[in-house]
Amino acid sequence: MTGTSDFVESVAASLALVRQRRPRVHCLMNTVVQKFVADGLAALGAIPSMTSALEEVEAFAQRADALVVNLGTLDEERRRAIRLAAAVARDADKPWIVDPVHCDYSPSRLVFARELIAAGPSVVRGNASEMDIVGNANGALRIKTGAVDELTLDLHTIRVENGHPLMAQVTGTGCLSGALIAAFMAVEPDRLKAATGALLTSGIAAEIAGERSSGPGTFEALFRDALAALRPEDIIVNARISHAES
Ligand SMILES: Nc1ncnc2c1ncn2[C@@H]1O[C@H](COP(=O)(O)OP(=O)(O)OP(=O)(O)O)[C@@H](O)[C@H]1O
Ligand SMILES: Cc1ncsc1CCO
Ligand SMILES: [Mg+2]
């Protein structure tokens, strides 16, 4: 990797590319946060699609630019839909991300998360409890989010410090981060760069919203506004990241 400032500049350019190309992200998203995630993608400038119907999920995944698979509300039919869409993404070499939501709460969900990871997603993202239990990432970029986000791929570790504590009081900011990462991967083939761009975008937008808001309710609306208004130069000026090589 070149110097951090070159890296941030090229990451910031990927925000402009998302706005220009408007990638479609197919979301197999939990039922709790579907609207929040679709609105967040739209605010960014991407196009969400959300169906999980068995008869059409493959067609939706095939024509999408990236896929996000989120395990938040699983039942047998959704597992089948996820398997179908993941196979399409894998066979078409399309970027896809697994968010193993609550795999720490249920043994059967943990087994399913590991099955998906064995199929070779581009990225696995979760909070600390989920990432600590899910195990080997099978070559995927591993992202543990929290007050500081930690991205690990091969020997590289990037830490993204931007963000705001109110993010933890709005259900779905992690789920949305997975969808934003998918949108960035659709326009930036270097997944470490793409994911850093998505997390900086979300973290800096949250800082702007946090300054203006009076609690989680107003924060949610202001966060979406800030996502829509964020410019590449805001990333260059406000990014707080570090890089280590082991
Ligand atoms: N205390 C904090 N300070 C700053 N940013 C935070 C904080 N906690 C979480 N975040 C940010 O909020 C987002 C969600 O991270 P978190 O690890 O809470 O995900 P999650 O538990 O999967 O959330 P959810 O399940 O509600 O979608 C990430 O972008 C992360 O950077
Ligand atoms: C609260 C909750 N339950 C299942 S998914 C979800 C939101 C994201 O974690
Ligand atoms: Mg989560």
Which letter, b or e, does each residue of 211-224 get, where b requires 16 or more Cβ atoms within 10 Å of its Cβ? eebeeeeebbebbb
- How far apart, in Å, are the Cα atoms of 135 and each of 7, 19, 41, 192, 223? 29, 35, 29, 19, 32
pLDDT at 129 over 70: yes
Segment 2-37, tens digit of pLDDT? 578 899 999 999 999 999 999 999 999 999 999 999
CB-CB contact of 166 with 216 (8 Å): yes
Ligand 2 contact, 171 CB (< 6 A): yes
Q: Which residues line ligand 1 (CB under 6 A)?
A: 101, 127, 145-147, 149, 163-165, 167-168, 171-175, 177, 199, 202-203
| Predicted confidence band of residue 1 (pLDDT cuts 50, 70, 90) | low
pLDDT at 40 over 60: yes
Question: What was the pLDDT predicted at 138?
Answer: 98
- Report the predicted TM-score, pTM, of the whole model to 2 decimal places: 0.98
Ligand 2 contact, 50 CB (< 6 A): no
Taking CA atoms only, the protein residue closest to ligand 2 atom 8 is 172
Q: Work out the average pLDDT over 118-141.
A: 98
CB-CB contact of 162 with 240 (8 Å): yes
Question: What was the pLDDT predicted at 4?
Answer: 85
Q: Work out the average pLDDT over 147-168.
A: 98
Phi, psi of 42 (to 5 degrees): -65, -40
Taking CA atoms only, the protein residue closest to ligand 1 atom 7 is 147
- Strand, coil or helix: 141: strand
Question: What was the pLDDT predicted at 173?
Answer: 98
How far is the centre of ligand 1, averaged over its atoms, from the C-alpha of 174 (Å)? 5
Segment 178-223, tens digit of pLDDT? 999 999 999 999 999 999 999 999 999 999 999 999 999 999 999 9
pLDDT at 228 over 60: yes
Segment 48-94, tens digit of pLDDT? 999 999 999 999 999 999 999 999 999 999 999 999 999 999 999 99
